[in-house]
């Protein structure tokens, strides 16, 4: 019998709603349209290093469209080109990429679909240069991947963050407080910008616009003088004051991206309470933004990205990522994706729109 072509699927980086929808789309199209065997790699690049995997059949991916997370598991620390070995003072890094490539050959994998953010897809680009046939699918709540206007997971995260902002409005009004909502986004302000506008944030602070705490305090005082005895501040975890630094929650030495951001909302809250004399409370949305079922938008986008990725596989257009440009699905070289995060441009129309309705950006 003729050997069926074999496809591997890998999910890397932080989890987010919609990953399972992509796994479902890729697997079903691979089996139904292209007659392929599908191998699911466990726990991101860890699975390639440790040779952990399982076969995915049609029934294995039925019913997972609405599930958050990833049925394959994931990892934010497993980079085969800089793989952590040992712990603590004995921690060192080794290049295990050759082992990964050999494991794929032993599995008789013809090509691989990598679902991840710029870190995961940057590693995918390195593997592609080393001879692995790869197609990428952009996944992150941060929406910061080059080559696509939108990533799946972003809409779900913004929806959850907006709901959180909506809920603090009532307690802010009741107690005449400054309420600060800290959201994720890493180095980019997309989540804060979109949820801040959607939630009617009075002040939105993003990494791309370093803020002046005195400007923020002045805006809060102005609102009080006009009878608005509360203020809603939406702040990205990567926001920083002018001339200052980001707030670092902890360092994960074994990770390729060792810095974990967080806590800037509490720092700003203490400063505003001291300057304005108004009670201030901080809410950190944190991993609530990553969990739960994907929105309808993300389910549709994930399905389209997954099936289009398989079209690239069929046409043997490897070294590419599927992206969304306007309303069109496009393919983008992984080389571009690997160049680093896509930040919010200062001339973005949503910043202009927010300023037009009186939103302050702290500068």
Going residue by residue through the chain, which has 363 residues, state the pLDDT in tens, using 9 for 90 and above: 567 899 999 999 889 999 999 999 999 999 999 999 999 999 999 999 999 999 999 999 999 999 999 999 998 888 999 998 887 778 888 999 999 999 999 999 999 999 999 999 999 999 999 999 999 999 999 999 999 999 999 999 999 999 999 999 888 888 888 999 999 998 999 999 999 999 999 999 999 999 999 999 999 999 988 888 889 999 999 999 999 888 787 776 666 666 677 889 999 999 999 999 988 999 999 888 888 999 999 999 999 999 999 999 999 999 999 999 999 999 999 999 999 899 999 999 999 999 999 999 999
pLDDT given at position 262: 82
Concerning whether 130 is annotated as a catalytic residue, the answer is no
pLDDT given at position 1: 56
Instruction: Say which CATH class 6-152+294-337 falls into.
Output: alpha beta
Catalytic residue among 142, 144, 202, 298: 142
The answer to whether 69 and 52 have CB atoms below 8 angstroms apart is: no
d(CA 351, CA 249): 28
pLDDT given at position 261: 78
Q: Which helix (H) or strand (E) holds 84?
A: strand 83-85
> For 58, which DSSP code?
G
Domain assignments of the chain as residue spans, ordered by start: 6-152+294-337, 155-290
**What Cα–Cα distance (Å) separates residue 111 from each residue in 195, 258, 264, 290, 335?**
38, 30, 42, 29, 18
Can 6-152+294-337 and 155-290 be said to share one CATH topology? Answer: yes
The answer, as to whether pTM is greater than 0.95, is no
pLDDT given at position 220: 93
pLDDT given at position 222: 92
pLDDT given at position 97: 94
d(CA 127, CA 122): 9
Q: Kindly state the tokens that stand for 207.
A: 């990494």
Choose the CATH number for 155-290 among 3.40.50.460, 3.30.70.100, 3.30.2010.30, 3.30.70.1450: 3.40.50.460
**What Cα–Cα distance (Å) separates residue 321 from each residue in 113, 148, 191?**
9, 9, 22
pLDDT given at position 90: 84
pLDDT given at position 86: 81
Residues 188, 288, 260, 284, Cα dihedral to 10°: 80
pLDDT given at position 227: 85
**What Cα–Cα distance (Å) separates residue 168 from each residue in 162, 176, 224?**
10, 11, 18
pLDDT given at position 171: 87
Q: Kindly state the tokens that stand for 5.
A: 């072509």
Q: Kindly state the tokens that stand for 63.
A: 């019913």
In our burial notation (b when 16+ CB lie closer than 10 A, e otherwise), range 248-281 reads eeeeeebbbeeeebbbbbbbbbebbbebbebebb
d(CA 17, CA 290): 6
Q: Kindly state the tokens that stand for 285.
A: 């949305």
Contacts of 248 (CB under 8 A, 6+ apart): 259, 260, 261, 262, 263
pLDDT given at position 286: 87
- The percent of the chain in helix, strand and coil, each rounded to the nearest 5, is 40, 20, 40
Q: Can you list the alpha helix ranges (DSSP code H) found in the chain?
A: 19-32, 45-50, 97-106, 118-129, 154-175, 190-198, 213-225, 264-276, 296-314, 334-337, 349-356
């Amino acid at each position: 019998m003729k050997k069926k072509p074999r496809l591997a699927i890998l999910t890397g980086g932080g989890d987010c709603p919609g990953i399972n929808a992509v796994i479902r789309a890729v697997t079903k199209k691979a089996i139904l349209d292209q007659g392929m065997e599908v191998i699911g790699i466990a726990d991101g690049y860890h699975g390639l290093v440790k040779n952990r995997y399982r076969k995915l059949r049609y029934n294995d991916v039925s019913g997972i469209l609405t599930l958050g997370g990833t049925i394959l598991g994931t990892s934010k620390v497993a980079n085969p080109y800089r793989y952590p070995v040992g712990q603590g003072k004995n921690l060192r890094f080794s290049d295990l990429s050759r082992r990964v490539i050999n494991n794929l050959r032993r599995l008789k994998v013809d090509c691989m679909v990598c679902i991840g953010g710029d870190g995961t897809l940057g590693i995918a680009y390195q593997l592609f240069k080393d001879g692995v046939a790869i197609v990428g699918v952009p996944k992150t709540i941060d929406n910061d991947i080059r080559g696509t206007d939108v990533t799946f997971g972003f809409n779900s995260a913004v929806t959850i963050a907006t709901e959180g902002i909506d809920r603090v409005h009532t307690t802010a009004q009741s107690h005449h407080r400054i309420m600060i909502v800290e959201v994720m986004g890493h180095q980019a302000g997309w989540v804060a910008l979109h949820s801040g506008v959607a939630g009617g944030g009075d002040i939105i602070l993003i990494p791309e616009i370093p803020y002046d705490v005195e400007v923020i305090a002045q805006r809060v005082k102005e609102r009080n003088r006009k009878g608005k005895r509360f203020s809603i501040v939406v702040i990205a975890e990567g926001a920083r004051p002018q001339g200052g630094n980001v707030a670092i929650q902890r360092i994960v030495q074994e990770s390729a991206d060792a810095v974990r951001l967080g806590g800037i909302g509490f720092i700003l809250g203490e400063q505003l309470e001291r300057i304005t004399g108004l009670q201030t409370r901080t809410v950190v949305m944190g991993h609530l933004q990553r969990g739960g079922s994907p929105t309808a938008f993300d389910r549709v986008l994930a399905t389209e990205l997954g099936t289009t990725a398989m079209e690239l596989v069929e046409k043997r257009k490897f070294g590419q990522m599927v992206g969304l440009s306007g309303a069109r699905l496009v393919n983008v070289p992984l080389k571009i994706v690997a160049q680093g995060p896509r930040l919010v441009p200062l001339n973005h129309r949503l910043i202009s729109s927010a300023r037009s309705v009186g939103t302050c950006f702290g500068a």
